[in-house]
Each structure stands twice: as structure tokens, then as C-alpha cells.
Amino acid sequence: MTNINTQQNELVIDIDVNKQQLALLSGDIVVSTYEISTAKNGVGQQNGSECTPLGWHSIRAKIGAQAKENTVFVARRDTGEIFTEALRQQQPDRDWILTRILWLSGLEQGKNRGGEVDTMRRYIYIHGCPDGDSFATPSSHGCVKMRNKDIIQLFDSVDAGTRVLIHEANSRSVKQENQ
């Protein structure tokens, strides 16, 4: 893993795929933690794999700042719909992207940036999803899914450019890289 040092008070998002947990860190201090759901296909970088990409990323764009909770997004656009269970029953196979989107861009050339491994071109996000979905179990199409209240809190805490480390438990975390 590329070692990208963090500054003492820099906010960084640390995503542990094996624990299905996202932590917001300020330097070495854990500000908050959230249950998440990453890809049901596991980890991987390849375009079309529906896997969650590993390594260092940054938030390329924040989308949905003023949207109501449960607002439905398609292609990063507000559809005008508000998610309900009735809407899910009408469209059971739809991939629900709700409330807020943090669009990720890879920082490691050849690993998660460029060519067939480009996180941004794969449209990998941290986003809200139906609160009734399972968490702490991989179930997404590659993105990092969060409860709606959690994504709102995270979204309001970070800026575009905030760095994000996605790793498995057996690899180094942000805290380990700072030591």
C-alpha cells in the first residue's frame, strides 16, 4: 500500500472492508464511526467488476447538499423522487442511491487511477441507501453504502478533497501509517 502521511489535524476517512466500518479521523483521533456495506463481490479495482476499490482516494465531488433525506439520485442527479418502500416494491431491482453522494477519485496511478482501474470513471461513491438494507454485510455494487442520517452527518463533516483510505483489516490503516 502506498504510504501517504496524514497531517496532525487532517480529516481522513478510513474504510475497513473486513469490519464493514467507516471511521472519520482527525489525525489519530476517531471523530465518529459508522456501519457500512461495501461490495457483495468483494474488493477489486477492475472496471465492470462491481467490487470496492482499495487504496487511497479523495472526495472528488459532494452531491446533494440541500436534498431531503431519502432523495433518489440517478447518474448523480436528483430524480425528484423520495424513496419509500412502496417505490422499492415497484422497482425491486433498482440500485438505490439516496440522500447524499461523496464521489471518489483514486490517488494511486495504475491501482485505482487511470485505465481500467479508475475509481472515478467507475462511479464509486460513498452514498445513502434505504435504511432497511443490511449493514455490516457486503451488499453493494462497488460503492460504500451508509444509513441516510449517517451519510448526512459525514457529508456535513468533510470537504471535497478529503482523503479516503479503503483497506482490508490485514492491511495498514490510516492510524498505522501515521506511526
Instruction: Determine the average pLDDT of the residues in 72-79.
Output: 97
The pLDDT tens digits of the residues spanning 9-58 come to 899 999 999 999 999 999 889 999 999 999 999 999 999 999 999 999 99
- Does the structure show a pLDDT above 90 at 97? yes
Q: Specify the CATH number of the domain 37-159.
A: 2.40.440
pTM of the complete model = 0.90
Instruction: For residue 68, list its beta bridge partners.
Output: none
Contacts of 98 (CB under 8 A, 6+ apart): 69, 70, 71, 72, 73, 83, 127, 128, 129, 130, 148
Question: So where are the chain's domains?
Answer: 37-159
Higher pLDDT, 179 or 105: 105
Q: Report the run of H or E that residue 172 belongs to, with start and end.
A: none
Q: Sign (positive/negative) of CA torsion 121, 125, 131, 137?
A: positive
Q: What is residue 1's predicted lDDT score, i.e. its pLDDT?
A: 33
Instruction: Determine the average pLDDT of the residues in 92-119.
Output: 96
The three-class DSSP label of residue 53 is coil
Task: Check if the beta carbon of residue 61 is closer than 8 Å to that of residue 44.
Answer: no
Q: What is the DSSP string of 58-109?
A: EEEEEE-TTPPTTEEEETTEEEEEE--HHHHHHSTT---EEEEEEEEEE-SB
Task: Check if the beta carbon of residue 94 is closer than 8 Å to that of residue 88.
Answer: yes
